[in-house]
Structure 1
């Protein structure tokens, strides 16, 4: 076990990716026992619950800090008509989610994408990513889609985005103080 204790400052690389051409697939069929639902006018607590369930192991803390520092900005993000939150359910509970952000004209940012730990490795992630991509490009006027990931995210995230057509366009070195103990051996490469 290679535990990195909470409170440790770590360096990591964030990779920014883009997709500049519509892919040649439609929204894929999900497994029969899985449904994808748009969260219509979700309350902030629901967004934060799913955000935490997916991002807890990857140091997704920014929105919790925003809830403390500027709750009105967080509420404006969640309630914005330019934001769509989609949740995949299996067996009655969320398996993963994605958020599409159309704030910039002609662009769709895949602002969040991920699976809860119990759903990782069961084959749903790639299908859910294809659904997010297809839904983004289905909107009139989209000319580009973007996403970013970092070395604190799942170790296969960057390769998954590239496999589905995203191309790296920039990287940035950052640091963060870990909020929780981090055990990289728990995240299968």
Structure 2
């Protein structure tokens, strides 16, 4: 484990990945013994998105959306080319994904993740396969993209590759942490 304090500057690696053909796998079934439903949000309010964003991303230093003005964030959320999908089970959100089709022919998996309480219950693979197939089902999609970084869950990069994404480039970036963070992997 690697511990850092709020205010520390950290260097980390970002990996961009893409998929240029629809994968051969079919629509997945929820793991045995699990129930849930996927809900697409229609013009979600900022607080709803930020609650999911924070619940999933607080352990991974997700902060950039808090830097947007309320008006810019609302405009982004309500763009018809952006969609927010929430996995609900047991009466509460288990995770979410967002798809961004603002670039012609491209569907970007802009955000993806589970809340900490849902990790390790077999839902991540189901949700990722569902996100991938939902993106490919959109009209005009010729390429699916995603990016992850070493601030994210240590299995994120491998999971994306397992389901068909291929790395196309990497870059080293720096960030100043806004809260104390513990990362499970080296950042570079």
Instruction: Write out the 4+ residue segments of structure 1 that deviate beyond 4 Å after TM superposition.
Output: none
Q: Residues 14-25 of structure 1: matches in 2 within 5 Å?
A: 14-25=14-25
Report whether the alignment pairs 1:105 with 2:104: yes
The answer on whether the counterparts of 1:4 and 1:182 sit within 8 Å (CA) in structure 2 is yes
Structure 1 residues 57-136: aligned runs within 5 Å: 57-66=59-68, 70-136=69-135
- Partner of 1:177 in structure 2? 176
1:49 alignment counterpart: 51
Q: Report the aligned-residue RMSD.
A: 1.4
Shift of 1:2: 4.2
Q: Tell me, what secondary structure is at the counterpart of 2:152?
A: coil
- Distance in 2, matches of 1:170 and 1:19, equals 13
Aligned counterparts of 1:97 and 1:154: Cα–Cα separation in 2: 15
Q: Deviations over 1:46-68 (max 9, x none)?
A: 011101100001010000111xx
Structure 1 segment 142-153 matched on structure 2, within 5 A: 142-153=141-152
Q: What are the ranges of 5 or more consecutive residues in structure 1 without an aligned counterpart?
A: none
Preserved CA contact (<8 Å) 1:34 1:89: yes
Deviations 1:68-120 (A, max 9, x none): xx322211110010011000011111111000111011110000000101111
* Alignment partners' CA distance in 2, 1:55 and 1:44: 16
How far apart are 1:9 and its partner, in Å?
0.5
Give the Cα separation in 2 of the matches to 1:159 and 1:122.
18
Please list every run of 5 or more consecutive structure 2 residues that lacks an aligned counterpart in the other structure.
Answer: none
Q: Contact 1:101/1:110 (CA < 8 Å) preserved in 2? A: yes
Offset of 1:6 from its aligned partner? 1.2
What TM-score do you get using the length of structure 2 for normalisation?
A: 0.93
* Separation in 2, partners of 1:3, 1:166: 30
1:133-167 deviation line (CA, Å, top 9, x unaligned): 00010112110000000000000000000000000
Distance 1:65 1:41 in 2: 20
Q: Are 1:6 and 2:6 an aligned pair? A: yes
SS at match of 2:17: strand
* Number of residue pairs aligned between Structure 1 and Structure 2: 183
The structure carrying a bigger helix percent of its residues is 1
